[in-house]
Amino acid sequence: MQLYIGNKNYSSWSMRPWVLMTQFELPFEERLLRFDGFEPDSHFKQQILKLSPTGRVPLLVDDGFPIWDTLAIAEYLAETFPERGLWPADRLQRARARSLCAEMHSGFGALRSACPMNIEAALPAIGAKVLDEQPAVRADLARLVAMWTEALAQSGGPFLFGAYSIADAYFAPVCARLRSYALPVPAAIAAYIERMYQSPGMAAWVRDALAEQEFLDFEEPYRTGRD
């Protein structure tokens, strides 16, 4: 299988399947398509449109068959490797994990817009300003804290549904956002974020993101250069 992704410092959607596949040691070849813009004539768009009708990453290609959209990729991997237990084993917990992923997939627009993923950056002042000025971001953060607190309390941890699952990989970019913008969370949630950073899949992605040493101005609403 080949997994097509964008820049690791910025591409939150690419992060999810890459972290998942790395965490569970699923065999794949990384195909990095570096962002140079998203206009139709950009090199990135020209390359990805040859492979995917959406013109977006991530894209999983298995034996020539393309699968786009992170949830579709996750479900395909769970069906292809049922012995790995990518979803929780319990039927009800599996449904709850899917619900959390779907909520992330379609929601939290205020947080995602105001705090775009930027693993290399440290933007605590921006985080404080965003929380102070944008009620929708405060609501998104409160909902995240509530859902994670409930899941961790019910499962006993260390991850959202006990053992690591698709749900954790799905929220890996959110963990990165909360850390980059220093958004305040309770101690139990901060501990979960730290466990995520120490997990093999996310730790490997973060190392690669920090090693990229690229600054893309169109991905940087708050800086004109790297510190």
Token reading at 15: 């992060």
Task: Write down all domains in the chain, each with its CATH number in brackets.
Answer: 2-84 (3.40.30.10), 91-208 (1.20.1050.10)
What pLDDT was estimated at residue 73? Answer: 98
Q: Rounded distance, CA 197 to CA 177, Å?
A: 12
The arithmetic mean of pLDDT across residues 111-134, rounded, is 98
Backbone phi, psi, residue 218, to 5°:
-75, -10
Give the tens place of pLDDT for each residue, 169-204: 999 999 999 999 999 999 999 999 999 999 999 999
Q: How confident is the model at residue 226 (pLDDT cuts 50, 70, 90)?
A: confident
What pLDDT was estimated at residue 43? Answer: 96
What pLDDT was estimated at residue 14? Answer: 98
The arithmetic mean of pLDDT across residues 83-98, rounded, is 98
